[in-house]
Structure formats: structure tokens, C-alpha cells
Structure 1
Amino acid sequence: MLFEDIMSGGKGGHKGGHPVDPVPTVIPDPVTYERAGGDGFRTLWVIFVIFIASAALFSLQAWRIPVSRRVYHVLTTVITIVGALSYFAMASGSASALNCHSVTDHHNKVPNTHHDVCRQVFWSRYVDWAITTPLLLVELGLLAGLDGAHIAMAVFADLVMVFSGLFSALGEKHTSQTWGWFTIAVIAYIFVIWHIAVEGSMVVKARGERLTKLFGSLAGFILILWAIYPIIWGIAQGGHRMSVDAEIITYAVLDMLTKVVFGFWILISNRQIPETIAEVGGWWSHGLNTNPEGRIRIGNGGEA
């Protein structure tokens, strides 16, 4: 019997008048890579430039006011500088890793096969969030007049949220590990809302109606945008339903709103509404020198 007859169902390839189906072949698919493309990298470079320009502008504005009133300016400048460094790292291709997982391919009448899907994860994005999001919470806490305990707990919950997202992004996909970390991040975010939005809205009322409205607007703006981040993560990193380029563009828009737009908003309000000014003296304004005039006391007697 010839092999060709078997494959073609010819004279020697059937029994009882029934042709034999072609012999199926099972060839595993190669590895599938999900990486950033041209649109993604162009977006990263554009956002880097915007962050650099914003940081320069915020820094120049800081020089026009006394040191004791520069708290928001310093924090906002640091936030945009860190964002610029993060986007430069991503745009230059030096801050990402491939997270691979196995996917099962189901076939008809033949054994299932498996192939790997490797998606690019920009871990520098999580480093950025671990530094900048606590600073944003400090700004909101100072604006509301929150005590240090609530601000510290909000910052701690925020760090738990960010690192849980990182562990989930780099962990094994479609397992309890991935969605376990994701659940922890969501719970931590609820604690952030409690300490900043709930407690802050109660404390800020004592500082006047204008400041209460401003805090409500800024806190709502930040916390609503932050709620979109895990949704994007679930669609992109968790569900692989979004391309890496689309993920980059979406996160870039969110980062622009939460860092640059928020920064301009709070600094403009700081200039227009006197109640927003957080004036800090002591070490912040004068350093460790307890004698601001620069005079040196000698013993118990006079001055030099």
C-alpha cells in the first residue's frame, strides 16, 4: 500500500468502500510575543518630554515664593521628575521584562497542544507609582489638614497596592497567584479611600467652604482616575485583551492627568486660594541652624 494512496483515500486507502481521512498532523505553534511597537515607543518619548517641561515649569514657579510655602511646588516637581525618568527608561527599552505563560490550544479529534505567550511588562512603571503616588497622597493630606497617622496609613496602603500590582504582573498567569495579588491591591485601595477621602472630607470642613470644595474635587479627580488603573490592568496584563501599545497609550493619558494636570491644578489653587497654603517652618525653612540670623553664640556671653 502506498503512502500516497492512504493520504488521498485512493484504491488502496479505503476499506469497505469508505475513504480514509487524511492523517492529521499536530505541530505546536511557536512562541507568541506581545511587545511595544512604534506607536507605543513614540508615546513614551512624547510623555517623557511633557514631564520634563512640566518639571522645569514647576521648579521655576517655586523660586517665586518663600521656602516655607514651597511644599506643593517641591512635591509636584519631584513627582514629574520621577515620571520623566520612568518614561525615559521605558522609551529607551531598559526597564521591561517578558512574562511568559503557557496557553493550551484545543484541536478537533487530535490532542491538545501548548504554546507560550510572552508579554512585555514595564516594571519601571511600578517603581514610578511606588514613589509618586505616596507623594500625591501627602499633597491631598496636607490640603485637607489630615494628621500624620492617617497620611502614613494611606501611604502604606498605597505601597501595598502598587507592589501587589507588580507581583501580579510578573507572576504566573491564570492562577490564583495573579488574581490573589490583584485582590490584595483592590483591598489596599479601599483603605486609601478611607484614610484620604473619608477622613479628609471630615477634617477639611473646619478649614472653610472653598477649601472643602477644592479638596473634594481634587480627591475625587485622583481617586476616580486611580480606579481606572486596575481596570486597564485586568484587561491588558490580566486578560491579554489589549495590545501593549494600547496599554502604553492608556496609562500615558492617566499618568498625564494624575501628575501634570493635578500638579497645575493644585499650584494654581495654591496661588488663588490662601487657605490652601501649607506653610512649614523649622527644619524645612531654616535647616538645622537654630539661629536663623547666622550669629554664633560663644559660651553664655555675647555674640560673635
Structure 2
Amino acid sequence: MATPGSESLWLWIGTLGMALGTLFFIARGWGVEDEEQRRFYIITIFITAIASIAYFAMATGFGLTEVSVGGQALDIYWARYADWLFTTPLLLLDLALLAKATRNTTYTLVGLDVIMIVTGVVGALVTSSPALRIVWWGISTAALVFLLYFLVGALREAASRQTDSVRRLTTRLRNMLIVLWVAYPVVWILGTEGTIGVLPLYWETAAFMVLDLTAKVGFGFVLLRSHTVLNEASQQTGVASTAD
């Protein structure tokens, strides 16, 4: 089994950051009694808790494997994809609940997201040729483009039924995810997993860690910082979630 090298510094920072974020969200939501509002805290807490476990696994060498592509040995942190497979749908669920999106919209977003992550991990583990890895990256990136297109369109329509404060928060979080998620395939293709190697493993790991912390802890902080806005959102969430 491969073991982490100097990049383990970033993995331990990621572990600590996700763990502290989890504790902060637990403390902030401790006294919340409204059932609908508590959903946001529960989902967000699981996002950072899962990520902290994944980062701990990578930091200790469990989530790391080595593949050989064209005679070149590549260290692949597969635990990163396991993290994303669970946490990115939860991020979308948070956003869908806030936007009062319909179930069909939520299912579509999550389905596209799962396709994006699964094809991404296939691309990371393919060993036959660098070109085939890039093809899988292209498929994963195409799924991301469809996901973001649908995210913008669906949430814009849902925003028309929101209060001004909830609409502003929904738009802020949506734009935050768009910017961050567009950066992920860029880091992938430029890093060691894309075999281009412009970003060595050390800086690739650092970049993914910063993106993960921002997309999970940063997203959660922005979402949960206002009990008033969450209260406005929760008043209609239960009704909207049952719509077609």
C-alpha cells in the first residue's frame, strides 16, 4: 500500500478543518427546536463529518492507492471520491431544501452529481492509457456542465417563490458551488491524476483541500449563520418538497 508523502500536511489540515467545522455546526444547532430548520443542521453536520473521516483516512494512508499508467506510477487518493460521492449530493440537498425545489428537481441534481463522481473515479483508476483517462474526465466534466446548467435554471425558477432574504442566500450559495465545482476538474486535469503533471501531487492535494474546506465548511457557515433566514426557508420547505 502506498503511504502519504509530504502532502500529508495538507491532509491533516483538511482533517482538522473538517472536524472543527463539524463541532462548530453541532454547537450552533444544539438549541434549534424547529424540525424543518434542524434538517439543514443535520445535513451540514454529516457533510463535514464524512469529509473529516475521509481526510483522516487519506492522512493515515488508508485512502491511498497506486496505479501505473504508461509506465508512470500515480498516487490516487480514492477516499477523496468516496467523500465526494456522499457529500456532494448532501450539499445539493441542502441547497434544494433552501430553494424549496421540487422532488423531481432534487432527484435530477443528485443523479447528475452521482454520474459526475462515478465517471471521475473511473477516470482516476483507469490504467490502460492517459488518453482514456482524459476521455473519462471529459465525460465527468460534461456531467458537471449539465448539472450546473440545471442548477442555475431550476433554482432561478424556485427563487421566484422565496422571500428576498432566502432568495439572496440561495443565489449566494448556488454561485459559490458553481465557482468551486468548476475548479475541481481544472485541478484534476492539471494535476497528477490527469497525467499532465503541471501541478505536482503536493500542490494538487493542497488545492483539493482548500476547495473541499471552502465547499463544505465555508458553505455550511454561510448557510447556517442566520437563524432568521433558515426560519423563513423552513416555513415552506415541507410543502415544496412534496410537489412534483
TM-score exceeds 0.5: yes
Residue 56 in structure 1 maps to residue 20 in structure 2: no
What amino acid does structure 2 have at the position aligned with 1:60? A
Residue 47 in structure 1 maps to residue 4 in structure 2: no
Unaligned 5+ runs, structure 1: 1-33, 103-115, 282-304
Structure with a larger share of its residues in strand: 1
| Distance in structure 2 (CA, Å) of the matches to 1:221 and 1:230 | 16
Residue 121 in structure 1 maps to residue 76 in structure 2: yes
Unaligned 5+ runs, structure 2: 239-244
| Distance in structure 2 (CA, Å) of the matches to 1:228 and 1:158 | 15
Query: Could you say which residue in structure 1 is the equivalent of 2:197?
Result: 240
Query: Could you say which residue in structure 2 is the equivalent of 1:66?
Result: 33
Judged with a 3 Å threshold, the aligned counterparts in structure 2 of structure 1 residues 271 and 51 are, in CA distance, closer, same or farther, namely farther
Residue 276 in structure 1 maps to residue 233 in structure 2: yes
What amino acid does structure 1 have at the position aligned with 2:222? W
Superposed displacement of residue 274, structure 1 = 3.7
The residue correspondences of 1:164-179 to structure 2 (distance < 5 A) are: 164-172=119-127, 174-179=129-134
Percent identical? 26
Please give the root-mean-square deviation of Cα atoms over the aligned residues, in Å.
1.9
Query: Could you say which residue in structure 1 is the equivalent of 2:146?
Result: 191
Give the alignment's TM-score, normalised by structure 1. 0.72
What amino acid does structure 2 have at the position aligned with 1:100? S
| Contact persistence 1:151–1:196 (CA under 8 A) | no
Q: How many residues align?
A: 234
Structure ranking higher on relative contact order (CA contacts 8 Å, 6+ apart): 2
Aligned to 1:162, which of 100, 103, 117?
A: 117
Superposed displacement of residue 224, structure 1 = 1.1
| Contact persistence 2:113–2:147 (CA under 8 A) | yes
Larger radius of gyration: 1
Judged with a 3 Å threshold, the aligned counterparts in structure 2 of structure 1 residues 151 and 272 are, in CA distance, closer, same or farther, namely closer
Q: Deviations over 1:111-153 (max 9, x none)?
A: xxxxx21010000000000000000001111111110011111
Q: Deviations over 1:91-121 (max 9, x none)?
A: 001111111122xxxxxxxxxxxxx210100
Give the alignment's TM-score, normalised by structure 2. 0.89
| Distance in structure 2 (CA, Å) of the matches to 1:229 and 1:35 | 23
Query: Could you say which residue in structure 2 is the equivalent of 1:79?
Result: 47
What amino acid does structure 2 have at the position aligned with 1:253? V
Q: Deviations over 1:245-265 (max 9, x none)?
A: 111100000001000011011
Superposed displacement of residue 173, structure 1 = 6.1
1:207 alignment partner, SS class: coil
Query: Could you say which residue in structure 1 is the equivalent of 2:213?
Result: 256
Structure with a larger share of its residues in helix: 2
